[in-house]
Amino acid sequence: MAQIDLKLKERSYPIVVSKNNSSQLLRLLKKEVKKNKLFVFYDANFYALHERVLAKELAEKFQYYEIVLPSCEITKTEKELSKIYSYLLSENISRTDFILAVGGGVTTDLVGYAAATTLRGIKWGAVPTTLLGMVDASIGGKTGLNHKAGKNLIGAFWQPSFVFSNIRYLQTLPHRQIMAGFGEIVKYAGLIGNDMLTLAEKFINSNDLYNETMLHRLVILSSDYKAKIVKADERESGKRMLLNFGHTVGHAIEKSLGYGKLLHGEAVILGLSAAVNLSVISSNASSKTLSRYIKLIVVSMGYVPHKKLDGDAVLKAIKGDKKRIDSKQKFILLKRIGKPIITDSVTQTEVSESINQMLYLYKHGVNNV
């Protein structure tokens, strides 16, 4: 078991990463739930696979209410949010009660937002059950939902009281979802540097994407890095932008293909390829300096399902990215592995070239590195 403390003054909280010890979750909950009610929201797929153990334990110890939410991105909508509000209010939730979100990023985003907005804010805890949820979505207090105008356009910063990651839950996660979470880990490898890069290389070359010892270590290092970034810049006005490494092109790929064709983490792997290409093309780094990292990205790209991507459509989608601050698009590039920079001094031709190189590698694979 490892504990990382995300220090945000009165909003500080622990991120506990356990190999398989739900007593740690009970310990965290007992601090928050005494005579008050515990409302637990589960992702439906997780519930079907794990409910018997977890729900039974919680129901025995707390004044327990459970709700199962449909699995998938369309759950992050006003319609589902409204059902959550109706349920909580019909059960007379009070400000002192506690909400627990158990599931992937969809569940923690939506339930976290319901917690932020019901009765002007109720305390909540996150139990991420996907790799992407453990290394990214559950940490940092960004909660929200999608709108027909775009993804994640409605939301609030509402930090949880704790995050509890149980690596054993990942054993039931589909292979593709593991790789999507690994996309964010590849991102961290570029941002953090050697230790994370070495571990990520070992993991992807091990042919065992369910190795608990390695997953445990990867989740700890990722959580620790994200916690440090969030501590430095809770509201994403500076350093937290680094976490968008690979995401400018990644988001544009998701948008240009139509949401759902690739998983978010898969699109991030392709976006990371474009970002390192751009780092080299714009003369911020040499390909020799980044060679190990480029190899990791291209090996990971081998796991991304093949989709027909149009470079011009991706470029067009970048221009509509909501993270643009003004007319200039910001890019996160690398000077070397573990040394990211935020810059807007790249030309459209350079961006276009970086996308074309990525498309070539996506099509032709690892033999071309």
Ligand X SMILES: NC(=O)c1ccc[n+]([C@@H]2O[C@H](COP(=O)([O-])OP(=O)(O)OC[C@H]3O[C@@H](n4cnc5c(N)ncnc54)[C@H](O)[C@@H]3O)[C@@H](O)[C@H]2O)c1
* Chain contacts with ligand X (rule: CB under 6 A): 43, 45-46, 49, 71-73, 76, 103-107, 109, 129-130, 132-133, 136-137, 140, 142, 152, 169, 172-173, 177, 180, 264
Shortest separation between residue 336's beta carbon and ligand X, angstroms: 26
* Residue type (1 letter), 98: F
Shortest separation between residue 75's beta carbon and ligand X, angstroms: 8
Q: Is 99 helix (H, G, I), strand (E, B) or coil?
A: strand
Residue closer to ligand X by CB (options 160, 357) is 160
Residue closer to ligand X by CB (options 146, 256) is 146
Shortest separation between residue 212's beta carbon and ligand X, angstroms: 13
Residue closer to ligand X by CB (options 152, 289) is 152
Shortest separation between residue 213's beta carbon and ligand X, angstroms: 18
* Residue type (1 letter), 150: G
**CA pair distance 75, 256, nearest whole angstrom:** 22
Shortest separation between residue 15's beta carbon and ligand X, angstroms: 13
**CA pair distance 190, 279, nearest whole angstrom:** 12
Least Cα distance to 84 among 55, 59, 111, 51 occurs for 111
- DSSP line for 226-243: HHHHHHH-TTSSSGGGGG
- DSSP line for 307-365: ----HHHHHHHHHT-TT--SSSPPEEEEEETTEEEEE----HHHHHHHHHHHHHHHHH-
Residue closer to ligand X by CB (options 101, 361) is 101
Q: Is 126 helix (H, G, I), strand (E, B) or coil?
A: strand
- DSSP line for 130-192: SHHIIIIITSS-EEEEEETTEEEEEEEE---SEEEEEGGGGGGS-HHHHHHHHHHHHHHHHHH
Backbone torsions φ then ψ of 341, nearest 5 degrees: -135, 155
Radius of gyration of the chain from its Cα atoms, rounded to whole angstroms: 20
Residue closer to ligand X by CB (options 130, 279) is 130
Residue closer to ligand X by CB (options 57, 350) is 57
Residue closer to ligand X by CB (options 176, 324) is 176
Shortest separation between residue 211's beta carbon and ligand X, angstroms: 16
Shortest separation between residue 139's beta carbon and ligand X, angstroms: 7
How buried is 322 (Cβ within 10 angstroms: 0-12 exposed, 13-18 middle, 19+ buried)?
exposed
User: Which residue number is nearest to ligand X in terms of Cβ?
Assistant: 105
CA 255 to chain CA centroid, nearest Å? 18
| Rounded alpha-carbon distances, angstroms, from residue 7 to 37, 115, 162, 220 | 27, 21, 12, 16
Residue closer to ligand X by CB (options 76, 217) is 76
- DSSP line for 199-218: HHHHHHHTT-TT-HHHHHHH
Residue 96, token pair as written in the block = 């002192």
Residue closer to ligand X by CB (options 67, 359) is 67
